[in-house]
Structure 1
Amino acid sequence: MPTRTIIASLAALALLGGCASTGWMTPPAAPAGIVAPVEPAAPVDDGIVAGLLTDNQVQTAFAEIEAMRALNNERLVELTEIPAPPFAEQARGADMAARMRALGLSDVSIDAVGNVIARRPGTAGSEARSIAIVAHLDTVFPEGTDVTVHREGDLFTAPGIGDNSRGLVVLLSLIDAMQRAGIETRDDLVFIASVGEEGLGDLRGVRHLYETDASPFASFIAIDGGDAARLVVTAVGSIRYRVTFRGPGGHSYGHFGRAQPHQALAEAILRFTEAATPITLDGTKATFSFGRVGGGTSVNSIPFESWMEVDMRSANPQKLDALHQAFLNSVDAALEAANARRRENEALTVDLDPVGSRPPGEGDLNAPIVLHAMAAIRAMGQEPELTASSTDANIPISRGVPSVTMSRGGISRNAHAPNESWLDQDSHEAIQMALLVALAEAGLVSSE
């Protein structure tokens, strides 16, 4: 039998099968990726958003949002130039907490993992529900990345400027506009600058919120995405591993015949590609990638280790499970084949280290929050595009909490690249859309 060691507990991965117990409704085929418009069966506008649009306080807040364009761009530059690499968001988090307090919120805290949590109380007191509005602090860029912002007119360029410094600006703008307009809500609005949304962060910020309180929010709005019409209602799940084949190593000539970790790794990649490709060809989108590969010491050495990082994704839990099983089988088969070829010395071993597991889930297309968000998008003259993606909303969606991920506004380009850019074009509309959804969920207490 192959010697396979799974370093970390896979209990979280085992839960994936139950994350979307309602099953998967296969959408019509969509072009190149995850966008698949789906219309809910219920009426899109239940009248709440339409009523908000005519409210004097909401109109005042809308005007304030438009008037703070220059201020928001200042906020954007200042936040972007505070580095927030993976697992090191503390400085940006402290800055966000200070800004929230400066806007008049008194209940502001930073939790054990670094989430910044600011509660704007509703009028319902102990009966108030909590509505979460979340944008993540972290970027994908490592420590030492130059995050200086370069501006040409309305175009801003810097690593992380759109994803997700602009999302943080939306949070501040919402608080600011409501404070200026004197808006009160029935339920509490909880503004959260979360940690660990990107990559190996594995949604650790929002995951922590649900680990400390099984049901902290009645509904959940994430701000993370560029296109104003894009509305994420389905959670793309993922399973990620770091795989390391290990052997004795040696001299390329003198120890020829010893088991080769690189050969085993290459065979695992090939076997998995052949087994996984059919799973990706039709139905709900499923993907896999080999994001990083490494190992070895010199050209004239047999490496003592060879490693890779593998990413598997799908919104369909059955497809994700199928990819996962194909991956495990391929690693086992590659290890066995490599050891069978060796002529001398000890066998190879392999370590499987899970480095990420994001739960999939299908949101309720007829949930009020989805209908409110669609109505808000239409109020801005856009046609909603209901999509699937991996965001902070994965966690609440997988637990059945009504959730959406909405646009941060403007036009984002080259996310996760050093030349990432954000164009300030009609950027106020996304803030206004988020305000409408927040007020529809929390209940506007009218002063009229």
Structure 2
Amino acid sequence: MRAKMMIASLAGLALLGGCASTGWLAPQPAIAEPAASAGPADDGRITGLMADARVQAAFSEIEAMRMLNNERLVDLTEIPAPPFAEQARGAEMAARMRALGLDDVSTDAVGNVIGRRPGTAGNEARSIAIVAHLDTVFPEGTDVTVHREGDLFTAPGIGDNSRGLVVLLSLIDAIQRAGIETRDDLVFIASVGEEGLGDLRGVRHLYADGASPFDSFIAIDGGEAARLVVTAVGSIRYRVTFRGPGGHSYGAFGRAQPHQALAEAILRFTEAATPITESGPKATFSFGRVGGGTSVNSIPFESWMEVDMRSANPPKLAALHAAFLGAVDDALEAANARRRQGDAMTVELDAVGNRPPGEGDLAAPLVQNAMAAMRALGLEPELAASSTDANIAISRGVPAVTLSRGGISRNAHAPNESWQDEQSHEAIQIALLVALAEAGLAEGQAVSGPD
């Protein structure tokens, strides 16, 4: 008889309408990795914007604020923003948005900082979201002092995503200085909970209760300026805890060993998952953290790990999920069968992450104009799949992309993370063009494509 697993918090696997036990396992259409490039991508809006005097003025402002942006980068990086504790950095972003002239700035119930720059269309205005996340992966107490050598800046979180926040502020600043008015609303958002176990909680809150608050969604995250994320890499994450009676390593020898069960689950899942990841659409798995036990001379009463499974392809993700569940169940049964005395072990699966996969519409004006903006600056777009704040919008069919923060980022999520100021203005200029192409210039400044 197979061991019975105790399943906790599986509602987390149904956050976007799926079923905890079958939603991920049901057959779903395959999502292909995006092509490396795409064809002509300009309906006239980017060409018109490039010829506009105000846009050119904003371009000049962006280039001129390089030193100011580096100061902003250092200031924001040195305000800690560990997971689930982004409040101080959020307060600073709210203050800076107001100082740049945004009158409508608020912080919502989960900590997202939202600055709205109204368009001229009033009640008929569409809403264009431009989002960069506040949080880092580094725990509370991490030294976030920035070390600078010329144009190279080193500190935890300096690229991912302090630089993204700088791009957000730069856009507001450049638009304000150039006196650009848009037809639709631009909504600048510093979001919480993008990283790790945050599980996109900031953007999930924006889309709570089935709401569709934005007509387009532009996230700022990632490295080089030519990278354009159009496909959402989904992920399923669990915290797995094996529990047993524990006891003295000598006197209670023969009782069930949680560490052995955990090790066996890792091995069985690795063996089952490796063939899934070796060919076809990319799929990955990782054992991010493990822990448990009280002393070297004790049988632990619990052993735990956190597991991450990813793919942009739903069938691949479903296959990994099924292999994982089977491996955990088999490991529990085998470990219990080996025990010589004491109660059987149990296992608890706590679903701690569910990022939906999705494929963007490459023909959407947002995607086409993003590619056109890159080409207008002499860059060839590199279409990519990734896991970002845009996942939620993409999975709901909302036009969404993730643009890069520019410069050169290295060692993301590592203590020696760095960011180099090299052609860093390009990413901000691209984001400006994409945002204005979506929002449209106000009447009298209008730019439109050919009839």
Q: TM-score by structure 1 length? A: 0.95
Please name the residue that 2:449 is paired with. Answer: none
Which of residues 146, 151, 158 is equivalent to 2:148? 151
State the SS of the aligned residue for 1:262: helix
Q: Quick check: 1:20–1:362 contact (8 Å CA) kept in 2?
A: no
Change (3 A) 1:317 1:385: same
Q: Structure 1 residue aligned with 2:138, among 138, 141, 147? A: 141
- The equivalent residue for 1:2 is 3
Q: Deviations over 1:310-363 (max 9, x none)?
A: 000000111111111111111111111111111111000001111111000011
1:333 aligns with 2:336: no
Distance in 1 (CA, whole Å) between partners of 2:132 and 2:403 is 10
Give the AA of the match of 1:102.
Answer: A
Structure 1 residues 7-406: aligned runs within 5 Å: 7-10=8-11, 12-13=13-14, 15=18, 17=23, 23-27=29-33, 37-40=35-38, 43-211=40-208, 214-406=211-403
Counterpart residue identity of residue 78, structure 1: D
Aligned residue identity for 1:37: A
Q: Match of 2:433?
A: 436
- Output the CA distance in 2 between the equivalents of 1:355 and 1:331: 16
Q: Helix, strand or coil: the match of 2:245?
A: coil
Q: Is the 8 A contact 1:185 1:444 kept in 2?
A: yes
Partner residue in 1 for 2:448: none
The 8 Å contact of residues 233 and 311 in structure 2, kept in 1 or not, is answered as yes
Per-residue Cα deviation, 1:22-64 (whole angstroms, up to 9, x for no partner): 833434xxxxxxxx534446x3111110110000000000001
- Contact 1:20–1:398, Cα closer than 8 Å, also in 2: no
1:411 and 2:408 correspond: yes
**Aligned letter for 2:30?**
W
C-alpha distance in 2 between matches for 1:163 and 1:369 = 24
Please give the secondary structure, in 1, of the residue aligned with 2:207: helix
Could you tell me how far apart the structure 1 residues matched to 2:24 and 2:179 are? Answer: 43
* Partners of 2:114 and 2:188 within 8 A in 1: yes
Matched residue type, 2:216: S
C-alpha deviations, 1:341-400, integer Å up to 9, x for none? 111110000011111110000111111111111011111111111000000000000000
Structure 1 residues 169, 182: CA separation in 2 closer, same or farther (over 3 Å shift)? same
1:19–1:399 CA contact under 8 A, matched in 2: no
1:300 Cα shift? 1.9
Q: CA deviation at 1:212?
A: 5.2
Whether contact under 8 Å (1:363, 1:402) holds in the other structure is: yes
For residues 88-141 of structure 1, the C-alpha deviation after alignment (integer angstroms, 9 at most, x for no partner) is: 000110110010011111010000000000000001100001000000000111
Which sits farther off after the overlay, 338-347 or 17-26?
17-26
The residue type paired with residue 396 of structure 1 is A
Equivalent residue letter for 1:4: M
Shift of 1:169: 0.6
RMSD between aligned residues: 1.7
Distance 2:241 2:133 in 1: 31
Q: Letter of the 2:35 partner, please give it.
A: P
The alignment covers a number of residue pairs equal to 439
Matched position secondary structure for 2:131: strand
- Give the conservation status (yes or no) of the 8 Å contact 2:183–2:443: no
Contact 1:20 1:361 in 2 (8 A): no
Distance 1:22 1:271, change over 3 A: closer
1:72 Cα deviation (Å)? 0.8
Q: Structure 2: how far apart are the matches of 1:140 and 1:266?
A: 26
What secondary structure is seen at the aligned counterpart in 1 of 2:54? helix
Please say if residues 297 and 303 of structure 1, whose CA atoms lie closer than 8 Å, have aligned partners that are also in contact: yes
Change (3 A) 1:217 1:19: farther
Q: Deviations over 1:284-305 (max 9, x none)?
A: 1000011111111222221111
Unaligned runs of 5+ in 1: 28-35
2:105 partner SS: strand
The structural deviation recorded for 1:445 is: 2.1
Report the secondary structure of 1:44's partner residue.
coil
Give the whole-Å Cα distance in 2 for the aligned partners of 1:419 and 1:240.
26
Distance 2:139 2:367 in 1: 35
CA distance in 2, matches of 1:120, 1:263: 57
Matched-pair identity in %: 80
